[in-house]
Structure 1
Amino acid sequence: QVFTFNKVEIGVQPSVKVKNGAPMSVICHADISKNTDFQLKHNFTIFKNGKRVFMTISDKEYARYEIPVARSSDTGDYECTVNADRKRSSSKPVYVWVAGMTKPILTADKKEVLEGEVVKLRCELPEEVPPLEFFFRKIKTNSAPKEKRVPEQNQNFSEVEYYIEAGDNILQFDCFAKRQVRSGWESSQHSNKTLVTVKEPFIKPTLTVPSSNITEGDQIEFECSTVAAQMRDIELILQKNRKILNSVRDKKFLKYSTVATQEDSGEYLCKVEQGAVSKTTKLNVFVSELFPKPSLFASMTKLDESKDLNLSCSINGFRGANFSIVRKSSTGDILLKNSSVLPMKVNVNDTGSYTCKAEVKGIVKESKPVRINVYAPVSKPTLSVVSGSPEVVLGKPLQLICHSVMGTPPITFTFYKGDEVKKNVTNDTYAVFLDEDIGLNDKGGYKCDARNNHSSGVKTSNILNVTVIVPIRDASLGSLPYGEVEVGSDTAFLCSVKEGSWPIDFKFFKKTDHEVLLHEVRVNSDKTIWHKKTMKRKDTGTYYCMASNRASVDVRSHPITISVILAAWQKGVIAAFVLTAIAGAGAVALWWFLCKKKKAKGPSMEMSGSALAPNLTSEKVTRPTSDGNYYSGSGYIEDNENHMKSTDESKGPDLESAEVDYTEVEVSTLDPHREIDSVPIHFPAPEQKGTETVYSEIRKTNN
């Protein structure tokens, strides 16, 4: 039995788009080829959005998933999988859209509420599945609905609370829902409308005044009242321009009275509050003017101290008012005189603001203030440098201060550099000037002027001359002798600078593992010499100098190295000692060599005291005349007719044919009283003549 899947298909009836509430069928069909006609069990599984929704086993090649009432929650991707005898095949997915949503159900927890209370609403879609978005609407007569949106991710209902405001008489509420589908958003129908009746806890207040024709000086009385079902926690408030004039609690009316002034014109507000409910009533009041404001006149507003000042107060076109002239103060008004005229001789303390007041029928009006300034003359200013010292470093700014001890501000200060005006400053008692253009060739000093509104005019300071300090530049260090100095000798160190204002502080340092100050001096010069006496070996090292002046900038030279060496006589003593030691060592070595030589020749030579007899045969050994003191011989050395006979004669005639031996022998004159083995013998190196070596020939001759 052999079979194979050709393909698996999935279909939807009546179509892939189904109206909400209509029946729907999802059909899965397997196309299978067999080699013979045999029964085969098919395991059909239908998935929606990856989740299994239907499964059946059938010997037919198709299966049907019936949905009697399709809802929007049935929208999604469907696919089918068929298993048969360990073989499996799946269809391609198909998207099914159930169009439309069920109508939501709206309920309210109250059918009748008071203003200020809250009504709770619930909107429900029992046949839909989340996520959903709910929309609640509050519908008021002759106004646009107020809408609230509430998303719900995990439930198919939503609840909200609505606050009932004043003026909400009869309200209707409804709701609807939306869900997101592949093509966008899909909306449900609107729910049933729910009616809520609103009752007033109190009526809108009334605000009254006895008469609408009010003039300044009249007594004006306001009355605010309301009618409430319950007086508990009710409050009445009277306001004007945000200012509370009067208020009462747990009462149905309030009163407020005052003497009317022109400032009392405006809008008044009566407000009734109970809990969260508030109702208001407005009333505009106009107060006619009884008389205009007075005016204050001054003979002068700016004057010198000890001058005369006249103040007068009047009302244009009105007589019969009571006047007073006052001076304004931070602690209150100071009454100067109950009159319309005030003459006075002023001093500086009289500077300030003055007004006059007029009173008619208890109504007091005040004029605009008039500012009076009384000036004392400025004193002669003093000009100084802010840092204190009358000097400045070249390239640095110079800050000056001009100050007047006396004088009524504001004072105008003028700064001069030479005859040139540099700056004008208006301040109280002093002013500051910053000169950033300092040069060596600046001519003329600084001065400043001070003046105010006093008639005495300008006062000028003394001229201030400022010293310009040139900073140190390029310090250098030298020495004599330079480099090497003998022990015990003196050394002169010269430290100099290219430029810099005097006096200059010079410091000499030796550089070790820390800085060592050796010498310091202050001179009115651009260089100085320091003599260091009796140099020692420990004075070897690196030296540098540092220069500074009132510019407060230390300039350091490049370092130099001094080596302290031995004197010539010290070197001679050491050399003599060394040569003596070498000569001694050479003598010892020579003695050792001769002793060794003597022992080597002992067995081949017979030496005795009788061998030196006068009748012994000897042969004089000669060599070129140029070798004056040198002699050659095989076995004899002749000196003052004394001979030494070689023991080689005992060896017989064969020795005559021996090869010639070459060596160089230095022979000293023999002392007849000394033994032969005490004679010194040296073996110098071969003598060079041109490129040839000259040898002394030693032959043995028989007499």
Structure 2
Amino acid sequence: MLRAITMVLMLLLSKVCKLDSLKADLQQGVTLNNVQMKFAPETSAEVGSRITLTCSVNIVAASSLTSQISYLFYKGPGSDVLLNSTVSSEQRSQVTIESARASHTGYYSCVVKVGNKAAKSEVSHLDVAGKLQTPRITIHPLKVIMGSQIELRCEAVEEVPPLEFIFYKYKKGQPSPVGDKTVTSRNSVTHTLKVTEATDQAYSCKIKGRSLETSSNCSEIVGITVQDPFSRHAFTIEPKNGIHEGDKLTITCTVRMSSLITSQMKPQLMILKGVTLMKRNYSLEIKYSKVASSKDTGNYSCIAMWNQTSKSIQKQVIVADSTQGTVASIKTLVTALLLGACTIHPD
């Protein structure tokens, strides 16, 4: 019984293989001739007008496989963007642009596929007279901490890619490009910037069609607010009224972070004497204490670092020699005694 079932399955598999082989042979008999792309109205139109793209082909076939004809409509000289794809039994297919935009200007072509055969039309140029849409720029976030990032997004939802996007920054009202021009097969693009102390605070963008000589108007200018991550930075040295050998020297470095910072990451604080690190910690405050000696005289720095942003305060510490203080006291006492001895009192 098992042997009989196996024989039946092998017979069915053989028939399926023969059908696939026959189908392939029939497809080899398909010839695609004279694939053409045409526009209505022909070659030129106005913004807002209705345009019909027609792809036609002359098919010679020895089978009924022509009931499955695939049409692919492309925009761009190198078939950059697939506009539409349809399947039909007719030897022509159409795509309608209901309201043409200036960015519809460009080169178009179509590809016809039947089975494993394909043929492409020549590239045809369409010109749509009119202005490009003024794009819209958005920035996130608008309030940003120095050392963080912002994302610029430029979009022109009514225009058809491929499009060229250009971002601009403004300094004293004068625009200059941000980064390189970006060409994309979408109608929006984003650009990320690291915010530093030198980062400009006003931006806009504009677009250009790949096949157009003119550009759109610039978008509105959008500004950002850049805040220092440290809302307060203090550096104190005690005693404040002169330091002598034997005194307790206390150096305190303190910061307070901006209210915009939601991260729990603490800043790194450092106390340095010259270039020598005296103390370091991830905290909002650090202290360095010791018994003062004349060797502690020098320049000290309080450095705060957060997310690659740093701020520094410097102060000079002078520790007086204790013997100098004793000598000065003796000189003062002697001077006072001599002045008292030389004073003549009247009778």
Normalised by the size of structure 2, how large is the TM-score? Answer: 0.47
TM-score, normalising length from structure 1? 0.26
By relative contact order (CA 8 Å, sep 6+), the higher-ranking structure is 2
Greater helix content = 2
